[in-house]
Amino acid sequence: MKLFTSESVTEGHSDKVCDQISDGVLDAILAQDPHARVACESIVTTGMALVMGEISTNAYADIPKIVRDTLQRIGYDDAVGGMDYRTCAILTSIDEQSADIAQGVNQAFEYAGDAADMTGAGDQGMMFGYACDETPELMPAALVYSHKLTRQLTQVRKDGTFGWLRPDGKAQVTVQYDKNGNITRCPAIVLSAHHTENISTDALRKALREAVIDPVIPVGWLDNDTKFYINPTGRFVVGGPQGDSGLTGRKLIVDTYGGAARHGGGAFSGKDPTKVDRSAAYMMRHIAKNIVAAGLARRCELEVAYAIGVSTPVSVLVDTFGTGIVSDDKITAAINQLFDLRPAKIIEYLDLRRPIYAQTAAYGHFGRHDLDLPWEKTHRADELKELLA
């Protein structure tokens, strides 16, 4: 028996608010200047937002408007709840990208004639991608259902089903595997919902069990021994930026694979695609997903590493955890044959110089059937299968 747990947070969670603001700024700039350099971070606390970072562009972004529009869309419209989009203070501190970093991105140190070699990685670091066959999304089940719970929690707030809900919230799902790696049940579910004063704990727990948990979690996974922790402390009246200050890039595991795969440590939100923290992580997900979609492995994790200013990766690693029908070395060779992992080529292949990022800033960057994301496409699966199977 094996237990595994993942969590998700709603779009009203303080850190996710910041991710959405930062990616909102990025999208607004890329819509005007696809080649802009953007590294934008945000902080929120009670009644205040700070947007800061390094941006090099001739485009104009109305940052205070982006902040207020984001807060309004999420539902922060009441100072009593800790943040009112109409009256909150907004501070900005924006500089240009460092010339030292820019020279490495603009012209890779190893340039030898190929135009793609002129775009070096925006930083050193390692990025991971992952896919598995546990769900139709080819994502870990505990994370998929954690995201579904937080989305459902937001839905019943925004559609008026429960007027006492506020934007902040979290979910956590534990799944149990048998010896063959199949999910047999759900031993525990945690759901924490931000709410107004005028709802009792008992009424809240009953309502959220019936309207959020029961419609989402597969019936066969729930049994008499499943433990439900719904607002386990009893009250969650003080939440959002009032209860916990937020910062861009602080929910990395929620953004990626829920802890089922490793993480390189680099955040996504607020970064233009020359930052390999973002673009290379998307590419690794794309390749891993195609490998699993091709039936070449039940689980696949990829690592790629870069040096700042250098276009070709320092290393590429494949791990199928013993589930591959061919060796990991053969899969690595196929990746190197079929995919160009230089940053300029990744940007071109995935068409990343577009304002597509704010929509990814809550409920995960991967496994999103609700969005048309280029890194989620599996059109290379047949090609990989033909080469390796």
3-state secondary structure 115-135: HHHHCCECCCEEEEEEEECCC
pLDDT tens, position by position, 238-281? 999 999 999 999 999 999 999 999 999 999 999 999 999 999 99
pLDDT for 105: 58
Instruction: Quickly name the fold that domain 125-134+262-388 has.
Output: GMP Synthetase; Chain A, domain 3 (3.30.300)
Q: Tens digit of pLDDT for each residue in 37-75?
A: 999 999 999 999 999 999 999 999 999 999 999 999 999
pLDDT band of residue 123 (cuts 50, 70, 90) is confident
- Label residue 118 by pLDDT band (50, 70, 90): low
pLDDT tens digits for range 160-199: 999 999 999 999 999 999 998 899 999 999 999 999 999 9
Q: Cα dist. 134→2, 90, 180, 185, 338 in Å?
A: 14, 43, 12, 13, 26
Residues forming a β-bridge with 94: 53
Indicate whether 7 pLDDT > 80: yes
Q: DSSP characters for 59-96?
A: ----HHHHHHHHHHHHT-EEGGGTEETTT-EEEEEEEP
Query: pLDDT, tens digit, for every residue of 336-374?
Result: 999 999 999 999 999 999 999 999 999 999 999 999 999
pLDDT at 101: 52
Tell me the CA end-to-end span of the chain in Å, nearest whole number: 32
What integer is the mean pLDDT of 150-157? 98
Largest CA distance in the chain: 69
**Element housing 334 (H / E):** helix 328-338
E strand spans, 214-346: 227-230, 246-247, 299-306, 315-319
Q: Give the pLDDT confidence score for residue 326 in this predicted structure.
A: 96
C-alpha 172: how far from chain center? 16
pLDDT band of residue 112 (cuts 50, 70, 90) is: very low
Six-digit token pair at 80?
A: 């009593």
Question: What residues contact residue 361 under an 8 Å CB cut-off, 6+ apart?
Answer: 16, 19, 20, 22, 23, 24, 269
Q: How many helices (H) and strands (E) does the chain have?
A: 12, 13
Give the model's confidence band at 107: pLDDT under 50 very low, under 70 low, under 90 confident, else very high. low
Say how far apart CA 78 and CA 114 lie, in whole Å.
Answer: 55
Domain with CATH 3.30.300.10 in the chain: 2-9+141-239, 125-134+262-388
- Closest alpha carbon to 305 in 126, 53, 64: 126
The single residue listed with the structure tokens 């002129």 is 118
285 within 8 A of 244, measured Cβ to Cβ:
no
Q: What is the second-level CATH architecture of the domain 2-9+141-239?
A: 2-Layer Sandwich (3.30)
Q: What percent of the chain has pLDDT over 70?
A: 94
Task: Tell me which residue of 291, 272, 261 sits closest to 364, measured CA to CA.
Answer: 261
- How do beta strands 2-9 and 125-132 pair? unpaired
pLDDT digits (tens, 9 = 90+) for 297-336: 999 999 999 998 888 999 999 999 999 999 999 999 999 9
Q: Read off the pTM.
A: 0.94
Q: What angle do CA 123, 124, 130 make, to 5 degrees?
A: 105
